[in-house]
Structure formats: C-alpha cells, structure tokens
Chain A
Amino acid sequence: MATLNLSLVESELRKVMSRSQALKHLVRDRLRELEEDPTQFKELRVCPPEIATRRDVTLRKLKFKHQRHEYRLIVAHWSTPGEIDHCDALLLFPRKDDYDIDWEWVEQALKS
C-alpha cells in the first residue's frame, strides 16, 4: 500500500479527465493500482542525478491509454523501511506521434 499526492499535477490531471468519462475512469483505476502497489509500475530510466542518487526514491511511469488518448504520469515513489510507501505525482503529459513529449500541452494545462 502507498499514500498518494496528486497536487503537483492537478491542472494537468483535470485537463486529461475532461477529455472523456472513459479516460477519467481509466486514470482512477490506474491510480488505485498505484495506491495498492507502486512497484508494479516500471521504473523510469531517465532520471535527474539528484533523484537517481537517493536510495529512498524511485521514479515510476504510469500509462493511460484509451482510444486515441495516450498520456504518461511520472511519480516519485518513496520507500523507507518501517514506513508506508508514498507516491508524489510529478509530471503528466501526452506524446506526439514521433514519441516526443508534447511540452506545449503541459504549458497550456498549467495556464488553464
């Protein structure tokens, strides 16, 4: 089990969920899975040095895909012996057709 903090991606999350009810349900289900067991989600290999050197934090990646909508959520998974795990959502974004991250979308979401 893990506790969650989604506040850092609130704008992006609300924008994603406004796309469709099906997507909203999918996101909720994935987050429930994250809450249940964060280790089931793949580690993100691309990791800034200040996070990579920490033994108590792992970056993990969740995928939300429904029809033509496809998004990634990156979370910091905190794990310390004797404490309940915790996940902070850090980034939420779609990709373009060439797999590049759509940073314009992220900027728009933060403005809205």
Chain B
Amino acid sequence: MATLSKDTLRKLVVLHALSQWRRGAFGLTRVQKTLFFAEHEAEPRLFTFKRYYFGQYSDDLAPALNGLQRACRLECRFDGSAERLVAVLDAEDRDRLRRAMRRLLPAWCEGFKTSFQEWGLLKHDELLEKAHEDPTYTEYEHDEVIHRSTLRGDFVSDALDDAEAEWLADLVDERLQRALSTRFSLLGGERGKPEPDWESKYFS
C-alpha cells in the first residue's frame, strides 16, 4: 500500500496527459477540455471544474502546471501558431509512468483515452465550438461548478509498492533536480576531494 499526496497525484496525472501529445499540447484550453471530459463520467474526479469563458475550466490545473515547470517536467515552446506544452520525459520514464497510472487510476485512464481521441487533436476553433455546445456548458451558469474534485487528502492505493511510489514522487518533486544541480555544481565539474579518513572523521 502506498500513499501519494493530492498535489503529487495531480502533477503526475497532468504529466501523463501531456506526454500523450507527441509534439506537446497546443494550448492550455485543449488540456483543460481533455482533462475535464476524461474524468467527468468517472471516479475519482481529480480536479474541480467550472463553466468559464472558454468552456470547462479548472483552477486546480495551474498549480499542477506550475509545479511541473518547477520540477523541470514541463516546457512551453513557442515555435508555431500556438504555445505548445511539452512533457519533459524520456521514453523509458514515459512508459513507466503510463503503466503506473493504469494501475493507480484504471477508470480515469480509460476516460482519458476516449477524451483524448475526441478532444485532444481538434483544431482550436472546433474545440471551442464543441465545448460550448456541450450540455456541461449550455446547462450551467458562468462560474458555476460543473463537478467537484473527489480528492480530499492523500491518495492511498494498494496498486503501487514503495519503490514505485517513491519514484513517482521524485519524478515530479519541485526541488529535487535543482537541489542535485546545485550540490553537483559545488564540485566544479570534477570529482570532490577524497576523504580516506571518513570513518574517523564522521563516526568516531
């Protein structure tokens, strides 16, 4: 049995979702819609969504995206007509994360698969039009909550062992890579000075 914090779980879900767009997700609106329809019919609901100007929108996504940026797991690229949100993961980590998500959140993953096919690759104007025609938009008032997150505190699952949970937490830790970089830079690119007497220095 393993426990992940709510923030860690949200960052992992968003990272996994972003990694499904081969060249990155074109625009945040696309990410918002794809995540909304991934979980609207499923449990657990990871984010609270409301009706907003561009359709179904969650305030919970910004902290997860900012966290992923701080963790060096998200890059925003401006090389076309729209900003691309690109997950920074190598192929091995991407596959491992996908397998972990399937064990951790099987229903959500199924919902995301369908949502990605339906919403993930639409042209921007088609995406907005479709989102504004959906009953989750037409039947709600501006700023009204469409669905609430069912996540309360930490997320406990028996689908992960300790080692996997530790890897997942480290993957999106907002300080680990920077802390390692900072400490490594103190070595100046070379091996540190050996301490042949480390036992007597630290353990006597």
Asked whether B93 is an interface residue with its Cβ less than 8 Å from the other chain, the reply is: yes
Are A101's CB and B173's CB within 8 A? Answer: yes
Main secondary structure of the interface of B (DSSP, over half): helix
Contact flag A8-B2 (CB < 8 Å), given A17-B202, A101-B170: no
Q: How far is the CA of A90 from the CA of B181 in the complex (A)?
A: 9
Chain B interface size, under 10 / 10 to 19 / 20 to 34 / 35 or more:
35 or more
Please indicate the chain A residues that have their CB under 8 angstroms from the CB of B177 in the complex.
46-48
| B187 interface neighbour in A13, A47, A76, Cβ under 8 Å | A76
| B183 interface neighbour in A31, A90, A99, Cβ under 8 Å | A90
Asked whether B175 is an interface residue with its Cβ less than 8 Å from the other chain, the reply is: yes
Please indicate the chain A residues that have their CB under 8 angstroms from the CB of B201 in the complex.
6
Q: When each residue 72-109 of chain A gets 1 if its CB lies under 8 Å from chain B and 0 otherwise, what string results?
A: 00101010000000101011000101111101001000
Chain B nearest CB from A35 CB (Å) reads 8
Contact flag A91-B183 (CB < 8 Å), given A5-B195, A28-B203, A101-B170: yes
Asked whether A7 is an interface residue with its Cβ less than 8 Å from the other chain, the reply is: yes
Asked whether B4 is an interface residue with its Cβ less than 8 Å from the other chain, the reply is: yes
Please indicate the chain B residues that have their CB under 8 angstroms from the CB of A76 in the complex.
184, 187
Contact flag A3-B194 (CB < 8 Å), given A8-B186, A76-B187: yes
Q: How far is the CA of A66 from the CA of B184 in the complex (A)?
A: 28
Contact flag A98-B4 (CB < 8 Å), given A46-B177, A48-B72, A103-B175: yes
Q: How far is the CA of A86 from the CA of B194 in the complex (A)?
A: 7
Closest B residue to A51 by CB, please name it: B184
Contact flag A4-B176 (CB < 8 Å), given A45-B167, A86-B191: no
Asked whether A10 is an interface residue with its Cβ less than 8 Å from the other chain, the reply is: yes
Chain B nearest CB from A82 CB (Å) reads 14
Chain A nearest CB from B154 CB (Å) reads 5
Asked whether B58 is an interface residue with its Cβ less than 8 Å from the other chain, the reply is: no
Are B166's CB and A99's CB within 8 A? Answer: yes
Asked whether A69 is an interface residue with its Cβ less than 8 Å from the other chain, the reply is: no
Please indicate the chain A residues that have their CB under 8 angstroms from the CB of B154 in the complex.
97-98
Asked whether A62 is an interface residue with its Cβ less than 8 Å from the other chain, the reply is: no
Contact flag A50-B181 (CB < 8 Å), given A24-B203, A98-B4, A101-B169: yes
Please indicate the chain A residues that have their CB under 8 angstroms from the CB of B179 in the complex.
91, 106
Chain B nearest CB from A64 CB (Å) reads 13
Asked whether B196 is an interface residue with its Cβ less than 8 Å from the other chain, the reply is: yes
Complex A-B, nearest 8 residue pairs according to Cβ-Cβ distance, in ascending order: A3-B194, A5-B192, A99-B169, A88-B192, A90-B183, A98-B5, A48-B181, A46-B170
Residues of B at under 8 Å CB distance from A?
A: 2-5, 8, 72, 92-93, 154, 162, 165-171, 173, 175-181, 183-184, 186-187, 191-196, 198-199, 201-203
Residues of A at under 8 Å CB distance from B?
A: 3-8, 10, 13-14, 17, 24, 28, 31, 44-48, 50-51, 59, 74, 76, 78, 86, 88, 90-91, 95, 97-101, 103, 106
